Amino acid sequence: MSTLRNVLLLIVILAAVALVTLRITGLDPRYIDPSSEAFVESGRTAWPGLWLKGEVVKEPVENWDWVYQVNDPVRGNTIMLETRSWYGIPHSVTINPVARGEILYISGSEQDFRLEKEFPDSKAWWANVERDPRVRMKIDGRIYEMTVVLIPDRAEIARLLGRNPVTTEVGPDGQERITGIRHLWRVYQRNIPEYGDGSVASRANASL
């Protein structure tokens, strides 16, 4: 029993040291090109990261269209999103931005086996932001502290995207079935002096 206890203690110590190290250095999520066969084979997902590191932006962004100009040699113009998990260790992923001038959105889609689950349980980061909408985004190497708000109206999403967020197909039995659903969240900057306390309410009042 003493040997087992010592082994378990060593594992706990090593895990704690690893987490402290990653907290300092950061760990970006793995990236797989969504258009590649490897992405399909991986179940349309990739290993998540942990903490995102970079310079924190303290100025308000008045136009987000520049995010489309970001061209990372590996990730293209995707961005990284750090969410808050229930167990206290961040869960970060790679996502796509949707910029409309002064307004920024992020999107996520579900296909295949993910459609069998109720929203937001299809993806870990969806469940995280539904529980705690405070997130951090890494765009072109810099960190933006944000709050995200789900857009529940599919008609509004269709207007913003220019297409139906729900895709369907007719199966061999002649019945139409859903093959994919895209969700959209509006993003607000937090901790910006011009926005008061950075909350959604303060941001909305500032725009009145």
At residue 122, the pLDDT reads 86
Give the Cα separation of 118 and 183 in Å (integer).
Answer: 13
Q: What pLDDT does residue 39 have? A: 67
pLDDT at residue 53 tops 80: yes
Average pLDDT, integer, range 43-72? 86
Give domain limits for the chain.
2-206
Q: CB pairs under 8 A, 24+ apart, for 121-129?
A: 123/45, 124/48, 124/83, 124/85, 124/91, 125/48, 125/81, 125/83, 125/91, 125/93, 125/95, 126/183, 128/83, 128/84, 128/85, 128/86, 128/91, 129/83, 129/185
pTM, 2 dp: 0.78
Taking residues 6-32, report their average pLDDT. Answer: 65
H-run or E-run covering 95: strand 91-100
Domain range 2-206, its CATH number among 3.20.20.480, 3.40.50.1980, 2.30.130.10, 2.30.110.10: 2.30.110.10
Looking from the CA of 191 toward its CB, the CA atoms found within 13 Å total 10
pLDDT of 201 reads 45
Three-class SS of residue 72?
Answer: strand
Q: Which residue has the higher pLDDT, 33 or 115?
A: 115
* Residue 70, helix vs strand vs coil: coil
Segment of 27-31, 87-91, 192-196 carrying the highest mean pLDDT: 87-91
Q: What is the mean pLDDT of the chain?
A: 81
Q: How much is the pLDDT for 175?
A: 84
Contact at 8 Å (CB) between 187 and 104?
A: yes
pLDDT tens-digit map of 183-208:
999 999 987 776 555 454 444 444 43
